[in-house]
Amino acid sequence: MYAVIQTGGKQYRVAPGDTIRIERVSGDVGEKVTFGSVLAVHTDEKKVMLGSDASKVTVTGKIVSQGRAKKLTVLKFKKGNQYKISRGTGRILRRFRLTILNCKAAKTHTCKRRKDGAHAKFLSKS
């Protein structure tokens, strides 16, 4: 089972027990956080929940650690003028251990793969 969530302007594919690094989420180490925007859920029975059915699923995580990402360096350079400026920043990231709860919905979609494996087609109400 996995879910696709959206937080901090990015989308993440998460499964129970996964540890992911996310930015722009407030909280301290040890706190539980519920992610509000669930875009899709793929269940163990090869069923996919989309739209309003997926938004009923709650994805929660516990903040395991927090720290900064590797420092990104920005270098400005102009040849011949002895001009060189180096600036950088490191994003604040928090590491979450995730669990998925309440994964029952009335409407699911069956996921069928094409023979070439390019992408999945969704059939309604199975």
Residue 102 φ/ψ, nearest 5 degrees = 50, 60
Which of 38-52, 71-85, 95-109 comes out lowest in average pLDDT?
A: 95-109
Q: Given a cut of 70, is residue 47 above it in pLDDT?
A: yes
Beta bridge partners of 66: 94
pLDDT at 76: 86
* pLDDT tens digits, one per residue of 99-113: 655 555 545 556 555
Q: Given a cut of 50, is residue 79 above it in pLDDT?
A: yes
Give the residue ranges of DSSP H helices in the chain: 51-55
Which of 30-34, 79-83, 103-107 comes out lowest in average pLDDT?
A: 103-107
Phi-psi region of 118 (alpha: psi -120 to 50; beta: other; left: phi over 0): alpha
Q: Is the pTM of this model over 0.85?
A: no
